[in-house]
Structure 1
Amino acid sequence: MRFVIVGAGRVGLRTARVLREEGHEVTLIERAGDRADRAAEQGFTVVAGDGAREEVLVEAGIEDADAVGALTGDLNVNFAACMIADHYGCRTIMRIDEDYREEIYRKYADEVDEVIYPERLGAMGAKNALLGGTIRAIADIAQNLQVVELTITAEAPVRGYTISELQLPADATLLAFGKRDGELGIPSPDESLEEGDRLVVLADFAVLSDVRQILVGEPERRAAVEGGVR
């Protein structure tokens, strides 16, 4: 998937690293020269400029992006970037700091797909918001291993299979299973996989895309756009 992240500060840069480690394409927008240079030194494509300006977002590839994460410390910049990104059909994630009043949060939450508090969620929470609702990272176990929760969709190739018939890549292991709105537990071999069911999988980053295709089955861009509430 392709992402544009506005802001190469602590939150933006860490989120970009997590996404890149999973094989996603990331472009950063940063107007502060030292931060832009630091991101470029780490191998990221960086567009120098104001992420609240449409021409800067277009230069960063917003027309082909699946989602835009507005992760600066400036609420006005974040909101403007999200409104422009929404016009281009991107999923929009906006950072808001905890010192803002609750009514301000609720106002902005109605305008974007997801609002995040990086102080609470960190880079993993920002990444989950960018990816959308059918795959959710739970924990990074090692540099190349992650525990993820995936939700079976109507398009999933394994919908209607039983747990015993499920074949995941060699570097992926099923840890837990839960029916729609039910509790997660040890998977039973005879349990059937239906839309809305959830599976928790331990997987190597290299096979996460394959695991998603098997259990989710929907095109990644559609998943990213429909994962939030519009």
Structure 2
Amino acid sequence: MRFVIIGAGRVGLRTARVLREEGHEVTLVERDEPRVRRARNEGFTVVESDGAREDTLEEAGVGDADAVGALTGDLNVNFTACMIAKHHGCRTVLRIDEAYREKIYRKYAEEVDEVIYPERLGAIGAKNALLGGTIRAIADVEEHLQVVELTITEAAPVNGYTISELELPADSRVLAFGKRDGDLELPGEDESLEVGDRLVVLADFEVLSDVRQLLVGETPSEAVANAASGSSSGAGGVN
């Protein structure tokens, strides 16, 4: 997947690193010369210009991008970049700081795909917001272990099973379960798995593709490719 990140500061650069580590293509947009130099020293492609300009975003490849993350500390720049990206058909993620009140949050939330508070969310959360979909990475526990939240789909082979009937691959286990729009809780054996329900699973990277096939219903080839790249399925325009 291709991403354009506006802002190579703390939030933007960390998010870019996470995405690149998972095999995605990332272009950064930044106008501050020291930040541009730092990002380029780390091997990133950087467009040195104003992220609120359409020609800048076009140079960064917004026309071919799956999503744009406007992650600067300037709300006006972020919102303008998201509106340009939306015009180009991209998924849009808008950074908004804690200082802004709920009224402002609601105003902008109606115009973009997702609004994030990086002070709460962190880089892995910003990455999830960009990916969207039915699979959400929560934490990398060790180099080979990841905690993921998966949403049951109609295509999932386990749709209609109970927790007790669920047989995950070795080296994976269910940590929590939540009904659609409900809170996550410790799983009960008699809970039934229905479309929209969520499971939090701890899994070795080697079996993540098998877990995805069971709980999300991806084909074997899709599951292997997506598990390797860290991408999510089920979000229009960003798969």
Question: Where does residue 43 of structure 1 map in the other structure?
Answer: 43
Question: Where does residue 4 of structure 1 map in the other structure?
Answer: 4
8 Å Cα contact 1:3/1:67 also seen in 2: yes
Question: Where does residue 74 of structure 1 map in the other structure?
Answer: 74
Residues 78 and 183 of structure 1: is their aligned pair in 2 closer, same or farther, counting only changes over 3 Å?
Answer: closer
Residues 193 and 12 of structure 1: is their aligned pair in 2 closer, same or farther, counting only changes over 3 Å?
Answer: same
Deviation at 1:121, TM superposition (A): 1.5
State the SS of the aligned residue for 2:234.
Answer: helix
- CA displacement, residues 47-90 of structure 1 (integer Å, 9 cap, x when unaligned): 22221122222222222222111000111110011001111221
Residues 182 and 114 of structure 1: is their aligned pair in 2 closer, same or farther, counting only changes over 3 Å?
Answer: closer
Q: Distance in 2 between matches of 1:221 and 1:62?
A: 20
Residues 156 and 37 of structure 1: is their aligned pair in 2 closer, same or farther, counting only changes over 3 Å?
Answer: farther
Question: Where does residue 185 of structure 1 map in the other structure?
Answer: 186
Which consecutive unaligned segments of at least 5 residues does structure 1 have?
Answer: none
What code does the residue aligned with 1:184 have? E
What code does the residue aligned with 1:90 have? C
Aligned identity (percent) is: 73
Q: Does 1:223 align with 2:234?
A: yes
Deviation at 1:204, TM superposition (A): 4.3
Residues 202 and 222 of structure 1: is their aligned pair in 2 closer, same or farther, counting only changes over 3 Å?
Answer: closer
State the SS of the aligned residue for 1:86.
Answer: helix
- CA displacement, residues 99-127 of structure 1 (integer Å, 9 cap, x when unaligned): 22333222212111111111122212212
- CA displacement, residues 186-215 of structure 1 (integer Å, 9 cap, x when unaligned): 464x86543112121223456656644553
State the SS of the aligned residue for 1:202.
Answer: strand
RMSD, matched Cα: 2.9
- CA displacement, residues 111-169 of structure 1 (integer Å, 9 cap, x when unaligned): 1111111112221221221121412232231244321111012233553566656554x
TM-score, structure 1 length as denominator?
Answer: 0.81
Question: Where does residue 100 of structure 1 map in the other structure?
Answer: 100
What code does the residue aligned with 2:234 have? A
Which consecutive unaligned segments of at least 5 residues does structure 2 have?
Answer: 223-230
Question: Where does residue 225 of structure 2 map in the other structure?
Answer: none
Question: Where does residue 61 of structure 1 map in the other structure?
Answer: 61
Q: Distance in 2 between matches of 1:100 and 1:22?
A: 32
Question: Where does residue 145 of structure 1 map in the other structure?
Answer: 145
Counterparts of residues 148-159 of structure 1 (less than 5 Å): 148-159=148-159
Q: How many residues align?
A: 225
State the SS of the aligned residue for 1:52.
Answer: coil
Q: Distance in 2 between matches of 1:43 and 1:209?
A: 29
Q: Distance in 2 between matches of 1:139 and 1:8?
A: 23
TM-score, structure 2 length as denominator?
Answer: 0.78
State the SS of the aligned residue for 1:223.
Answer: coil
Residues 25 and 203 of structure 1: is their aligned pair in 2 closer, same or farther, counting only changes over 3 Å?
Answer: farther
What code does the residue aligned with 2:18 have? V
Deviation at 1:5, TM superposition (A): 0.9
Question: Where does residue 128 of structure 1 map in the other structure?
Answer: 128
Residues 212 and 24 of structure 1: is their aligned pair in 2 closer, same or farther, counting only changes over 3 Å?
Answer: farther
